[in-house]
Amino acid sequence: MKENDQPILSVRDLRVSFATEEGLVRAVDGVSFDVRRGQILGIVGESGSGKSVTNLAIMGLIPMPPGRIDGGRVLFCGKEILGVPEAEKRKLRGDRISMIFQDPMTSLNPFLRISLQLTEVLELHKRISRKKARRHAIAMLDLVGIPDAAERIDDYPHQFSGGMRQRVMIAMSLLCEPELLIADEPTTALDVTIQAQILELLKKIRDELGTSIVFITHDLGVVAGICDETLVMYAGKILEKGSTRSLFASPSQPYTRGLLRSVPRLDLGRKEELTPIRGNPPYLLDRSPGCPFLPRCDFAVDKCGEEFPPRRQVAKNHDVWCWVEMEGSAG
Ligand SMILES: Nc1ncnc2c1ncn2[C@@H]1O[C@H](COP(=O)(O)OP(=O)(O)OP(=O)(O)O)[C@@H](O)[C@H]1O
Ligand SMILES: [Mg+2]
């Protein structure tokens, strides 16, 4: 296999649980996927579906206890990273894999100037002089679209608007030129115009720096605009995955169809009636052997309660986990 054909990230049968007072929560339950080099992969699902926990596990940031990795493999550039010692993980996180969190205020220190927060990262991980680090940090702020970056770098976080703070966060996550960037709902707290700008920015970063990106969101509409491939997660499992084009053209899981009906589609540019998916998000403690979406599914058959469905290919690079073959789906 040529080096460039090897996925930058391969997750295989990942299982993560949390011991809670009510019992064991299986937050991630047998998740497998690849991220190819230079690809933007979207992970979509309602709140509590395991999107963040999947990616925290990749980053080695699951709090243990109460968390536990029950199994699986995470390969970064072909090398297992799940069990590596903490020091090695920390180095990996700074140098090669980076994460943007949902709320920039939780990751920026309100009492320190941006300049210090940005250059510290560089001095620590790249061992370059303060002067050089500052120059690089200004260039990054410039790249993410902060006007007058050379002056604004000495501002405090609260002197930036929400959208600008998110850009600062993105700049910080890019400082060490990571090969993989994990963006966990980076636009949820922002208004629609700024959200669109941040999405454009992530695309630009991929195109100009070649960064592979995992983009987490609960909004399928956002995915359509930027992701090459999309995973649909529910109750810690992947229910559908494929090229974004195929997945949107022929959603093949009732849950994906429900999600599509319940969010506005930016790409369609017209007003449609939105229908929320009936029922409540899954109760992760009570795990029956079947499909977790069963209690909310309008198409369920007997088998759905008995066994989780095997992977079924509906088109090239488009798989679904569902016992029912939906009409109008691909393949
Ligand atoms: N530290 C923890 N202790 C106990 N349970 C946890 C912990 N972290 C996550 N969980 C549980 O794991 C499940 C998956 O959570 P996760 O944060 O991955 O969801 P998510 O898909 O990212 O949702 P959201 O869209 O709300 O961010 C949830 O049921 C959550 O309560
Ligand atoms: Mg989350």
Measured from the CB, is residue 78 less than 6 Å from ligand 1? Answer: no
Beta strands 40-44; 212-217: pairing state: parallel
Range of the structural domain that residue 88 is part of: 3-96+178-320
pLDDT of residue 331: 43
Total structural domains in the chain? 1
Q: Which of 231, 225, 232, 228 is nearest to 36 (CA)?
A: 228
- Which of 53, 70, 234 gets mutated to test ligand 1 (max ligand atoms within 8 A of its CB)? 53
The residues, ordered by sequence, that sit 6+ positions from 234 with a Cβ below 8 Å of its Cβ are 45, 46, 49, 255, 282, 292, 293
Q: Read off the pLDDT band of 47 (50, 70, 90).
A: confident
- Where does residue 163 fall: left (phi above 0), alpha (psi -120 to 50 degrees), or beta otherwise? alpha
pLDDT tens track for 74-125: 999 999 999 899 899 888 887 899 988 766 566 788 899 999 999 988 887 7
Distances (CA, A) of 170 to 134, 164, 176, 271, 324: 16, 10, 11, 32, 41
pLDDT tens track for 187-238: 776 677 777 888 888 898 899 889 999 999 888 888 888 999 999 999 999 9
Q: Angle at Cα 44 formed by Cα 157 and Cα 50, nearest 5°?
A: 85
In a domain, 139, yes or no: no
- CA-based torsion, 255, 256, 259, 261: positive or negative: negative
Question: CB–CB of 250/314 below 8 Å?
Answer: yes
Which tokens go with 330? 């691909």
Measured from the CB, is residue 328 less than 6 Å from ligand 1? Answer: no
Length of the chain: 331
In a domain, 22, yes or no: yes
Cα of 53 from ligand 1 centre, angstroms: 6
In a domain, 101, yes or no: no
Nearest CA to ligand 1 atom 30: 48
Q: Looking at residue 216, which CATH number applies to its domain?
A: 3.40.50.300
In a domain, 133, yes or no: no
Cα of 102 from ligand 2 centre, angstroms: 8
In a domain, 250, yes or no: yes
**What span, in angstroms and rounded, lies between the C-alpha atoms of 310 and 205?**
36
pLDDT of residue 147: 93
In a domain, 234, yes or no: yes
237 forms beta bridges with 234
In a domain, 310, yes or no: yes
